[in-house]
């Protein structure tokens, strides 16, 4: 499927997807079921109280819809959290996640890598060129330095940022990556991005590493939140 093409999912398919998300979250998160029950019971209990006070049965549909909405909110928040926790354990997941963000995020996975599954991904956006490192800091740090030196020859005055994904000092957890990158100033126009994209592709087309130096299938292709899990975030 071409990037940007939307999958058409019917009502039954959508319902099955929600069920899969529900099962996944319940299996991974011990707090999900109690929170889901509370999300359903509390609005219904409040509705029952309103009806008991004689304010009419017209509040019943409101209570039911409120319960369903609260359940979906809990499902969205908790499933997204569990997904990000699972993704943090998969090498290369940062590239797959950024690729699926809304907006013009142009990702080149594993522009540099090692057999120990350390990687540097390149992201191009109106904010500039962004390098994302994944793996052991002792190995990723020099890789980022080499990529910055290589890219500085072609990016001109475009901003160049580098970040390491992780939970150590001066590292960014994967779940906070989107917030961090969105805080960067937009200093380039769409034409600037297209022009720089062509130069970067030409640079990437040059032979750099011996064939077979990057492990096959090291970038996961199926790292994505279940359908509807992150809608509205």
Same domain, 58 and 104: no
Same domain, 110 and 194: yes
CA distance 207 to 219: 20
Task: Note whether 152 and 120 are within 8 A (CB).
Answer: no
Length of the chain: 233
Please give the residue range of the domain that contains residue 36. Answer: 11-87
Same domain, 177 and 97: yes
Same domain, 142 and 163: yes
Q: Quote the pLDDT of residue 105.
A: 94
Same domain, 33 and 64: yes
Same domain, 58 and 98: no
Same domain, 16 and 35: yes
Residue 129 maps to a domain:
yes
Residue 143 maps to a domain:
yes
| Three-state SS sequence of 163-216 | EEECCCCCCECHHHHHHHHHCCCCCCCHHHHHHHHHHHHHHHCCCCCCCCCCCC
Residue 198 maps to a domain:
yes
Number of C-beta neighbours around residue 183 at 10 A: 8
Residue 228 maps to a domain:
no
Q: Of 87, 115, 147, which residue sits at a domain end?
A: 87
Residue 226 maps to a domain:
no
Same domain, 76 and 97: no
Q: Of 26, 58, 87, which residue sits at a domain end?
A: 87
In terms of Cα–Cα distance, which of 40, 10, 37 is closest to 26?
37
Same domain, 125 and 72: no
Q: Quote the pLDDT of residue 54.
A: 79
Residue 80 maps to a domain:
yes
Residue 189 maps to a domain:
yes
Run of H or E including 106 = strand 106-113
Same domain, 46 and 128: no
Same domain, 136 and 196: yes
pLDDT tens track of the chain, all 233 residues?
Answer: 444 444 555 667 777 888 888 888 888 888 888 999 999 999 999 999 988 887 778 888 999 999 999 999 999 888 888 877 777 777 778 888 898 888 999 999 999 999 888 999 999 999 999 999 998 899 999 999 999 999 988 998 999 999 999 888 889 988 889 999 999 999 999 999 999 999 998 887 765 544 444 444 455 555 555 555 444 44
Number of C-beta neighbours around residue 100 at 10 A: 13
Same domain, 120 and 199: yes
Q: Quote the pLDDT of residue 230.
A: 45
Residue 225 maps to a domain:
no
How many domains are contained in the chain?
2
């Amino acid at each position: 499927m071409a990037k940007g093409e939307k999958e058409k999912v019917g009502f039954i398919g959508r319902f099955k997807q929600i069920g899969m998300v529900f099962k996944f979250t319940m299996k991974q998160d011990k707090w999900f079921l109690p929170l889901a029950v509370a999300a359903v019971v509390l609005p219904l209990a409040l509705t029952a109280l309103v009806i008991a006070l004689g304010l009419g049965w017209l509040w019943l549909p409101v209570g039911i819809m409120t319960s369903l909405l609260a359940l979906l909110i809990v499902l969205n928040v908790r499933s997204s959290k569990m997904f990000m926790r699972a993704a943090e354990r998969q090498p290369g997941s940062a590239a797959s996640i950024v690729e699926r963000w809304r907006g013009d995020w142009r990702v080149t996975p594993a522009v540099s890598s090692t057999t120990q599954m350390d990687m540097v991904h390149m992201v191009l956006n109106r904010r500039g060129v962004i390098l994302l490192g994944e793996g052991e800091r002792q190995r990723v740090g020099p890789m980022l330095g080499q990529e910055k030196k290589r890219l500085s020859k072609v990016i001109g005055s475009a901003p160049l940022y580098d970040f390491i994904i992780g939970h150590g000092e001066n590292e960014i957890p994967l779940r906070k990556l989107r917030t961090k990158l969105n805080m960067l100033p937009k200093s380039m126009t769409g034409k600037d991005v297209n022009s720089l994209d062509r130069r970067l592709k030409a640079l990437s087309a040059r032979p750099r590493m011996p064939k077979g130096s990057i492990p096959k299938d090291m970038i996961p292709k199926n790292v994505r939140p279940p359908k509807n899990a992150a809608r509205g975030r």
